[in-house]
Structure 1
Amino acid sequence: MDPNLSLANKLALWLDLMLVQSIPIDSRRAIPWLLWAVWKNMNAVIFASTQESLGMQSQVKCNIHANWRNDKLHCGGSWITRDHQGRVGHHAREAFTSSPDKLTAELRVLIWILQSMQDLQVQEVVIGSDHCDLVEAIKRPNDWPRYRWLLHQVTVLTREFPLVCFENESSASNHVAREIAKSVMRNSMFQSYLALGGPSWLHDRIRQESAF
């Protein structure tokens, strides 16, 4: 069969085979079913590809950070979201009372962030953190018994989402979230806030970070 033929011409040739008497009757009767199976499978592949693309488009990337200095001072928490094209959605900042260690602070900030995602009705979120212990503790909570209660709260919250993923970030790719969190203590910004878009004082860095 000529590969340059149009789809309509190819179908016509296959259907013409049903009139060829030298072909066994059972084989001729199978031709329409064969064509139907090919058509159905082709549509299934196209649909699956479209669904995968739509799934990626519905996901939100959320970079997070907890700026912890010591067990006496407050710490700053922040998050910033982007869509599948790297465009900023929202960002937020919050001050937290002192925590005994860095991981406790990170988990408290994460709980606040998951609650924020629920409030914004985010369904699918990929959370990126540059604190490796946080991601490891979430993946293997039994290895971190000291943080059992906080990890339990994280687990309960994540079950409310159709999709939640956690991934490690480098400090460079998480720079914007780090700077927002640091501003709590550095600039005494203890007032919590939620805003649409990125902070104006980090616009240049946001454009650079979207390339990571």
Structure 2
Amino acid sequence: MRWKTKERIAGAAWVLRNARGEVLLHSRRSFGAVGSKDEAYFLCLAWAIESMLSHKCGKVYFVLEGGNLVNAINRPKAWPSFMFKVIEIRRLLRNFLCWRIDLVSYEANRGARLIADSAVHITRFQSYVARGPPRW
């Protein structure tokens, strides 16, 4: 996820890999009128979850850089200010056979971050889903 504070836009991306780490699909989209970085992470994660559900993925391991949201989902009682977001995310996650959400470093998330960057820094607001890794 990438968020531009001044413009209040967020760029989101997800990359779906198989158990061997091969990229099966990737996607990008942007969100407008985003009030905060935490809201941007929430919108991006909810969109990624909905995308995995629409692609009929039953077992999914999500990783993201948004530490506050990851911690709130994994330890909701310690993060009462995130209660609405946690309830909404967990409501979506109930549709999976198996799920997990973990924090990942900025460096480890480079591929998805570069895709999300293109939505806000290069102003490619067109959403898409594509097979395999990005061609660039």
Q: Matched residue of 1:191: which SS? A: coil
Paired residue for 1:184?
A: 119
Quote the residue 2:73 is aligned against.
138
Q: Which amino acid aligns with 1:75?
A: A
Distance 2:115 2:48 in 1: 14
Q: Does the CA-based 8 Å contact 2:69-2:82 persist in structure 1?
A: no
Write the mapping of 1:61-140 to structure 2, written as runs, cut at 5 A: 66-70=1-5, 72-140=7-75
Offset at residue 173 of structure 1 (A): 1.4
1:196 aligns with 2:100: no
Q: Deviations over 1:63-117 (max 9, x none)?
A: xxx2112164211011001111111010000110122211111011111111100
CA spacing shift, 1:139–1:93, aligned 2, 3 Å: same
> CA deviation digits over 1:99-157, x for unaligned, max 9?
22111110111111111000000000011112222210111223333332222110101
**Cα distance in 1 between the residues matched to 2:32 and 2:87:** 20
**Structure 1 segment 3-42 matched on structure 2, within 5 A:** none
TM-score computed with the length of structure 1 as normaliser:
0.61
How far apart in 1 are the matches of 2:33 and 2:119? 13
Q: 1:145 to 1:102 in 2, by over 3 A?
A: same
Q: Structure 1 or 2: larger helix share? A: 1
- Does the 8 Å contact 2:60/2:99 carry over to 1? yes
Offset at residue 170 of structure 1 (A): 1.6
Partner of residue 55, structure 1: none
Percent identity, aligned pairs only, is 31
| Cα distance in 1, alignment partners of residues 85 and 42 from structure 2 | 6
SS at match of 1:91: strand
Paired residues, what number?
136
Stretches of structure 2 that go unaligned for 5 or more consecutive residues are none
AA at the equivalent of 1:123? G
Q: CA RMSD in A?
A: 1.4
Cα displacement string for residues 184-212 of structure 1 (whole angstroms, at most 9, x for unaligned residues): 111111111111111111xxxxxxxxxxx
Letter in 1 for 2:77: N
Aligned residue number for residue 152 of structure 1: 87
SS at match of 2:4: coil
Structure with max Cα Rg: 1
TM-score (norm 2): 0.93
